Chain A
Amino acid sequence: MKIVADRDRCEGHGLCADTAPEVYELDDDAIVVLRHEVVPPELERKAEAGARVCPVAALRVEQLSVEA
């Protein structure tokens, strides 16, 4: 699984990072940064939960194809 963050949409509300600090953090400008290029399997559920609470829908969840 991969998370695609639209940093232009992000308004720095930090709900993603509150929900899943292992997956999301905010940089010095309070804009979201992903901690993993590909989300480790054990963090997938948390990553999704973090993506779903974003009030401006700046985070997309992408399922990678099998070989990835």
Chain B
Amino acid sequence: MSLRQVVVVGGSIAALTAVEMLRMEEFDGRITVLSDEEVPPYTRVPLSKGVLAGTESIDDIVLAPLSDDVDLRLRTPATALDIEAQVVHTPAGPVRYDGLVIATGARARRLGGPDQVERVLRSHDDCVRLRDDLAAASSVIIVGGGFLGMEVASTARALGKDVTVVDLAPPLDRLLGTVVGGRVRSVATQAGVRIVVTDGGVRLLGAPTPTGVELVDGTHLEADLVVSAVGDVPNVEWLAGSGVQLHGGVVVDHHCRVAPNVVAAGDVTVMSQGNGDLTRSPHWTNAVDQARAAIRALLHGDEAAPYRPSQYCWTEQFGLDVKLVGDLDPQGEPTVLDGSLEQGSALLAWPDATAPRTVIALNHHTPPAKLKRLLRPTAQARA
């Protein structure tokens, strides 16, 4: 039976790509998009940069609008799923589907207690609030030194704020490895950022608005503003009791399938590797790749080409442009394919140049497609 009514739940890049892919695959049934947001789909990527700095507005970051024949319903959260009846429940009433795409993404993880109004950065609303708070602050503590935390640090420092980043491990190492992580940190430190590594969880101090953190050793750090950038939590509450397998996200197979006629894509998912392992890849290109695979599986079943990750992510901070393809956290010393780290522009490969599993371009203008081609020898060696 071919599908006539596809419902996509979510209002961001995974949802948008799913709609786009339905159209590319010449699906001519009805498409309904349920989004709990106030605004049409936009990209979050500039939220830690230009929008936070106040140089860009929502108008600069909205994604090309959907065509008129797509029924985009804003301010319409999905509240429950009935797989048996093929219905998504919303406050505005039930919505029937014969194909469902789950693309509800994730929200910021929080550290604080119920009495604390913690500053996080995930949505446009979060960003506007943080932008205004940041403008009024002279010092800021950022808890969490991943891509997001360090990008916020970079933006805050460029605005002249006194910036401290607190993390359990040296910021960025877990993502970029110690060589490039160390390089970015030294540039950040030279730019005036203070990095504090603590070997235990921190506690946010002050209510309702936190104005400090307590480290495990009892040290107190204080600032006008405290921002938590400690990862994200998949939005799966609406799926509770639906029978959808949840395990730190919606569990999907290699075709991004969840249940018959139900697929999922993007930050909301964890992918089953078949051997019991679950992996999560909360990055833009992954949301795009998964949404495409999900729609192919929804329309073509087993015959569809499975999801193939492009394994591409990037960060921009402190004047450094870092593009990575392959496995995160490359270990040991890289082979330098071009340029040099000391000179500030380099193309690096791990573990060696013949069969790299990770390639990083640091301030090096190599298109990602070319970086991916450098990885290919491994894929062939593995096959």
Contacts and interface: CB of A to CB of B under 8 A. Distances in A.
A29 B251 CA distance: 39
Interface in A1-51: 11-15, 17-18, 26, 28-30, 45-46, 48-49, 51
B60 interface: yes
A53 to B, nearest CB: 5
Contacts, number: 67
B238 interface: no
Interface size on B, as a range, is 20 to 34
B16 interface: yes
18 contacts: A11-B321, A17-B369, A28-B365, A30-B368, A45-B23, A45-B24, A48-B20, A49-B21, A49-B23, A51-B64, A52-B17, A55-B284, A56-B43, A56-B46, A57-B46, A57-B62, A59-B64, A60-B64
B314 interface: yes
B41 to A, nearest CB: 9
Interface of A: 11-15, 17-18, 26, 28-30, 45-46, 48-49, 51-57, 59-61
A64 to B, nearest CB: 15
B261 interface: no
Contact of A53 (B17, B42, B61): B17
A14 B310 CA distance: 12
A14 to B, nearest CB: 5
A26 B63 contact: no
Contacts of A55: 13, 43, 45, 284
Contacts of B284: 55
